[in-house]
Structures are given as structure tokens and as C-alpha cells.
Amino acid sequence: MHVPDPPVPAVTALGDYDWASTPLGAPAGWSPALRAAVAESLAARAPADPPAPSAAAALDALFDAAPLGLGIWDRELRFVRVNASLAQMNGLPPEAHIGFTPRELLPDIAGIDALMERWRTIVDTGEPWLDVEVHGGTPANSDKQRSWREHFFPIRSGDRVVGIGAVVEETTERARVEAALRASEARFREFAEASSDVLWLFDMDSAQFEYLSPPLRKLYGVAAAASGRGAPLRFDWRASIVEEDREVAATTLRRVRQGERVTHDFRARIPGSGKVRWLKNTAFPLREPDGRVSHIGGIAQDVTEERDTAARLQMLIGELQHRTRNLMGVIQAVAESTLEASADLADFARAFSARLDALSRVQQLLSRIEGLERVGFDQLLRSELAAFGALPEEDARVSLAGPRGVPLRSGGIQTLALALHELITNSVKYGALSQPGATLSVRWALLPVAAGERPRLRFDWEERGVAMPARDDSPERVGQGRELIERAVPYQLEATVDYALTADGVRCAMVLPVSQTLAKGAAA
Amino acid sequence: MTALAGLRVLVVEDEYLLARQLERALRRDGADVVAVAPSVAAALAALAAGALPDVAVLDLNLAGEKAYPVAAALRAAAIPFAFASGYDAADRDPAYADAPHLNKPLTMATLRGCLARLVGRAAG
């Protein structure tokens, strides 16, 4: 921020007095403030008409009215004269200064002894000492640390230095403001450096970043600016934005420059790895006091994972919706076909309920798997057998033999479950599981696969020792069950099915493609 | 006469129970179901075998594969078709945005009206 100087009076406003021969020197070398003070007091004292004021009167006026602290010491550094401004800074009346040294009056000035030494050098050498920062307390307010900018120059009489003149400007407030600014900026940096979000500051004039917080510096491979705010970080940030998103980024800068606050997503390519990350960026204008947008501030967040998760969720929801709608249709179809084959409502209720149970069991199996996992054939078979208390550990007539975890393809698993359900239901009603002397053996194995062929599972259902019922006993439902086994499974699973009612009991062999990706490892 | 009487219909649906139900419902309506196919390959084979339908119902998702190749073949043969899907219409390939989208589960009334419109008949 730059505060404009007040208008500085021209040198001519200071009259034609020979200032150069005074300790103040030629007006051209004066500070603007001194020049203003002299001009003001000359104007105030100027009579309606000449004569011009005497040089001594002008100097007195200047000395008394100057808003700067002015003081004169003798060779022993004792105050000879102080003006009202300096007396006020020191917290002592002007007359209380006379005859005392700064060391005696102002012991709380930092490094006063060293200052005294340095002032003595001026007396000795006649060299001025300018632009001196002085800090410390004064009797005016001894608790408060204040600061001044001071100039010291020799006062000569002929060749001899007879004393020292001092010009003192209080800078306490300015120093305080500057310190507060520094602290505030340091705090901002601490926040910015600690944040996992990316904070950045873009300078419109240089079209470069002034600040990038660590995550983005890392992303762009930019070193932190050593000198803090103001030093542009030169790197080709445009090139790091993926091409399709550059137009949006440029539009955003334009809109923010016009005063808008804009949030948009873009992709950045990480140098080196070339990986693309999604960033959500909010950019806002930072204005100068005159309203001009000089900088653009931004907060960016890496939303790559967030976006991936959202996309995955969206896909899962779509999948779930699809599965649910499909299942509703299947239930409707099962109800319809069960109704066609039912003798009465009680008969329908029993058969429909049993089929719904089979569908629920397979849904449970499906709901327990995640991602690319598949339901194993043994899981499906055992879950159906368990529903009838027909696991080998529950029913001595039953024996199972085959590898665990042969992964079934998800499409068609419901139909396979219903087919297994029909095999078991028929067995429980009319087959091996309905008769004490009979046995049921279920064997399965992965078939050897030629290169490029899909893995296939062969499954053999074999009932033995069954006294087969008379033809009349076999109701229409058996036919319906056979439709699921002999028609639905081949249709939907691209399976071959060989179903036979032998004199000894039911034999059913199926060969069906299984899931490709995980079959090998899971069956090993 | 029903709206679909004598109409030759191709049904592409991978779920056996749904395909069977659809086939029976269409037959009850007087339609002639020329083929029922569970996959893209089976549907294309049915078309290649010369059983050209007047109209087709395509399940969009056939055991993980999309029915678009069948849609392309039907379009090439100027045979109108409707999609049936458990997915939302928004997920569909925009190239086929002009084909009607029927949500599953299907109801016969909706299907009847849709097929009739596709072949330019009154919905009956």
C-alpha cells in the first residue's frame, strides 16, 4: 500500500533567504516535511506587505511550529534548545531539557550509551549521521516501546563543530502497523502451509503465482519463494492443466477479474508421474483500495477420491436398481407360472413361498459378496440343501464331492438357484430324500480348459435306490420344475443339461460356463 | 382383433422367466413371437436366420453385455424397437435416444401401447 505524500511546497515558497548558510543547508536537500513546515510558518508570519521576516524570526518560527522533533546540543551533548514536538515526545517540558544530556534525561532509550558514543563522533569528525532508527521508552510513557527515525548533523561555527542538530520523526505507529502486517502475514502462511487444501495467490499484473501452499507446490514442483509475498513463482501452470480444462480455467480467471467468485472443477496433470488429479477450485477477487482487482485468491481441494467414490456409488446404485427391478419381474413371473401349475390356493401358497425362499437365499449370498467376488458353486448348493436339512452332516443319505469356491457368473445365478431348488424339492417329495434306503450324490469339478476357452463346471446329481412313483403321482409341478432345469438353465446360462428319470432315481448332469477371472485361483 | 394381432415380434431378454412370461403374454395378445434370444449373439443369429420381425423388444443389459449391436442391426434393417431396462433411460447410449425406453418390470398394457405405436397401429 502506498500513501501519497502531501504536496510539497516548491523551493521558491521558502523565500530568497540564504538557507544554505544555515545548519539546515540548502532547501533542495530538506525532507518534504521540513520543507512544508518552513513554508507554512513563513506563510503564517508573512505580513500583508514586506518587509520579509528576518532569518532569525523565520528560524524561530520554524523551530517552534515544526511537527518534527528538533533539538540542538552543545559539544558536550547537553540540550541547548528543543522544540515543542520533541519535548512532547520525550514527555518533559522544553525547559527541563536545557543543560542535560540525552543519557541523563532518556535512560530508557535502547543502547543510549552507544548512541552517546556515536554522537560524540559527529562532534569529532563533523560527519552527519542520518536515517537512524531509535527505539525505547521515554518519561512520557516509560512502559510503551516507541520508535523514531532520526537525523543528526554537526552545527559549525567557522571550522569548528559547536554542537549537534537533531531531527526526530516518530515512527511508533508505522512500525506497529508494519509489525502487525508481518504477524498477520506470518499467521496466514502458517494456516496456508498447514492446510491440506491448496491456497494460492495470483498476481494479475505479472500473470504469475505469488503464493502456492505446499500441496500445490509439490504438485507443480515449484520451490517456495524465499522472499515471501511479492516474488512471483515462475512456472508454466497453464501447461499442467489438462487441455480440455484450460478454456474453463481461462474463463474462470476472466470472470474473477471482473469481480465474480467462481467455483469449478478441473484436472491437473502431475509433472513426472503424469497422473491426473481432479481439483475443485474456488477463486475470488482481491481488490486494491481503488477497486481494481490486482490479485486472485484461490482455495483448491483435491477431489479425485471424492469423485471416484461418487462415480462408484452411482454405479452401485444403478446396479442395485437394475437388480431390484429385475427381481421384481422374476417374482412376478414365478408367481404367474406357479399359479398355472397349482391345484388350489393352499398348493400355490406352499410352492410360491418355497420358491421365494430360494430367491431370498440367493439374494443373501449375492449381498454378502463385494466388488469382483463371485458366489461359489458349493456355497449356492449348500445354501439350498441347508434349507431342507439335507446337508451331508444333517442327512446321512447325502454325499457331496467337489472343489470349493468355483466362482459362478452373476447373471443367471438366480435361475441356477431355482433349478437346484427344484431338484431338491422333487427329491424331498418323490426322490432320494423322501425314502429311507435311497442315496443322493452330488459331484462337481472344473473341466480341463483349452487355450482361449471359458472355464466350465460339470455338475452331476445322482439319486440311487429310489422306488420311483407311479406315473399318476407325478404332478404338473414336476413338469414345471423340469422346465426350470431343462430349459431355463440352458437358455440363460449357456449350459448343457442332461436330465433323466431312471428306474433308480433322478440323474442330472449340467455343464455350465463359470466366471473367468477368478475361477483359476479359487479352484486351485 | 387386438392391437398386436399377427405382429411379428423379436424378444431379446436374458432372464429366462421374464422372456418366457413376455413370450406368453405377447402370444395371448395375438402376436407372433418369431424368436426369443438371451444374448447379442443369439439375437443376431435369429435375425441372420431370416426370422425378420416387424418390431423388437430389447433388454438393454444381457448378462453384462449391452444390446446395442442388436439395436444397430435392427436399425440397419429399418425394424423399429423398444428398450426394456432396469437401468434409467439416462444411462443409455445417446445414439439410440430416439428408441422408446420401457422400465422393468414391464406391464403388458405399456408394452402393447409402445409396440403398436412403433408399427403405426392404434393401441387398441
User: Does the fold of domain A371-523 match that of domain A175-302?
Assistant: no
- Packed helices A413-429 and A304-340: angle between N→C axes, nearest 10 degrees: 40
Residues in A whose CB is inside 8 Å of some CB of B read 318, 321-326, 328-330, 332-334, 336-337, 409-412, 414-415, 484, 487-489, 491-492, 494
A434 and A428 Cβ atoms separated by less than 8 Å: yes
Give me the interface pTM, i.e. the ipTM: 0.91
Summarize the confidence of residues A170-198 as an average pLDDT: 84
Q: How confident is the model at residue B82 (pLDDT cuts 50, 70, 90)?
A: very high
The nearest CA of chain A is from the CA of B117 a distance in Å of: 24
**A311 versus A2: which is more confidently predicted?**
A311
Q: Which residue has the cell 422346465?
A: A483
A-B C-beta contacts closer than 8 Å: 70
Least CA distance to A411: which residue of chain B? B63
In the prediction, which pLDDT does B33 show? 95
Inter-chain CB proximity A328 and B19 less than 8 Å: no
In the prediction, which pLDDT does A519 show? 41
The rounded distance, in Å, linking the Cα atoms of A458 and A460 is 7
Q: Which helix (H) or strand (E) holds A462?
A: strand A456-464
Q: 3-class SS at A297?
A: strand
Least CA distance to B36: which residue of chain A? A491
Rg (CA), chain A: 49
CATH no. of A11-174: 3.30.450.20
In the prediction, which pLDDT does A227 show? 40
Largest CA distance in chain B: 38
Amino acid in position B69: P
Is the minimum CB–CB distance between B64 and chain A shorter than 8 Å?
yes
Q: Is the pLDDT of residue A5 over 70?
A: no
The rounded distance, in Å, linking the Cα atoms of A517 and A408 is 11
**A210 versus A124: which is more confidently predicted?**
A124
Q: Is the pLDDT of residue A205 over 70?
A: yes
| Neighboring chain B residues of A336 at a CB cutoff of 8 Å | 21
In the prediction, which pLDDT does A191 show? 81
Q: How confident is the model at residue A521 (pLDDT cuts 50, 70, 90)?
A: very low
Q: Is the pTM of this model over 0.80?
A: no
Summarize the confidence of residues B85-111 as an average pLDDT: 85
Task: Break chain B into its structural domains and give their ranges.
Answer: 8-118
Residue A494's DSSP bridge partners are none
The nearest CA of chain A is from the CA of B14 a distance in Å of: 6
The rounded distance, in Å, linking the Cα atoms of A419 and A425 is 10
Could you give the strand order of the β-sheet that contains B8-12, starting from the edge strand earlier in sequence? B32-37, B8-12, B55-59, B81-85, B101-103
Characterize B15-54 residue by residue with b for buried, 16 or more Cβ atoms within 10 angstroms of its Cβ, and e for exposed.
bbbbbbbbbebbeebebebbbbbbbbebbbebbeeeeebb
Lowest mean pLDDT segment, chosen from A20-34, A249-263, B69-83: A20-34
Strands B81-85 and B55-59, sheet pairing:
parallel
Q: Is the pLDDT of residue A372 over 60?
A: yes
Amino acid in position A322: H
Best interface-test mutation with B: which of A491, A494, A515 has the largest number of B CBs within 10 A?
Answer: A491
In the prediction, which pLDDT does A212 show? 81
**A240 versus A409: which is more confidently predicted?**
A409
Q: How confident is the model at residue A470 (pLDDT cuts 50, 70, 90)?
A: low
Q: Is the pLDDT of residue A524 over 50?
A: no
Q: How confident is the model at residue A412 (pLDDT cuts 50, 70, 90)?
A: confident
Inter-chain CB proximity A329 and B18 less than 8 Å: yes
Q: Is the pLDDT of residue A501 over 70?
A: yes
| Neighboring chain A residues of B85 at a CB cutoff of 8 Å | 322
Q: C-alpha grid cell for residue B56?
A: 423388437
In the prediction, which pLDDT does A13 show? 67
Dihedral of the alpha carbons of A343, A421, A494, A337, in degrees to the nearest 10? 20
In the prediction, which pLDDT does B41 show? 94
| Neighboring chain B residues of A417 at a CB cutoff of 8 Å | none
Range with top average pLDDT, A268-272, B49-53, B68-72 = B68-72
Q: How confident is the model at residue A144 (pLDDT cuts 50, 70, 90)?
A: confident
The rounded distance, in Å, linking the Cα atoms of A495 and A342 is 28
Is the minimum CB–CB distance between B87 and chain A shorter than 8 Å?
yes
Neighbours of A370 (CB within 10 A): 6
Is the minimum CB–CB distance between B105 and chain A shorter than 8 Å?
yes
The nearest CA of chain B is from the CA of A354 a distance in Å of: 17
Q: Is the pLDDT of residue A317 over 90?
A: no
Q: Is the pLDDT of residue A267 over 60?
A: yes
Q: Is the pLDDT of residue A518 over 60?
A: no
Summarize the confidence of residues A100-113 as an average pLDDT: 91
Domain B8-118: CATH class, spelled out: alpha beta
Is the minimum CB–CB distance between B88 and chain A shorter than 8 Å?
yes
| Neighboring chain A residues of B17 at a CB cutoff of 8 Å | 329-330, 333-334, 337, 415, 488
* pLDDT tens column, A68-91: 999 999 999 999 999 999 998 888
| Neighboring chain A residues of B38 at a CB cutoff of 8 Å | 491-492, 494
Question: In chain A, what percentage of residues exceed pLDDT 90?
Answer: 38
Closest CA to A71 of A46, A101, A42: A101
Task: Break chain A into its structural domains and give their ranges.
Answer: 11-174, 175-302, 371-523
Summarize the confidence of residues A192-217 as an average pLDDT: 80
Q: Is the pLDDT of residue A2 over 60?
A: no
The nearest CA of chain A is from the CA of B122 a distance in Å of: 27
Q: Which of A410, A492, A494 sits opposite B15 (nearest CB)?
A: A492
The rounded distance, in Å, linking the Cα atoms of A46 and A132 is 35
Q: Which of B38, B61, B104 sits opposite A492 (nearest CB)?
A: B38
Q: Is the pLDDT of residue B42 over 80?
A: yes
Q: 3-class SS at A277?
A: strand
Domain A371-523: CATH class, spelled out: alpha beta
The rounded distance, in Å, linking the Cα atoms of A84 and A94 is 6
Q: How confident is the model at residue A397 (pLDDT cuts 50, 70, 90)?
A: very high
Tell me the pLDDT of chain A averaged across its residues. 85
CATH no. of A175-302: 3.30.450.20
Q: How confident is the model at residue A226 (pLDDT cuts 50, 70, 90)?
A: very low
A420 and A510 Cβ atoms separated by less than 8 Å: no
In the prediction, which pLDDT does A373 show? 81
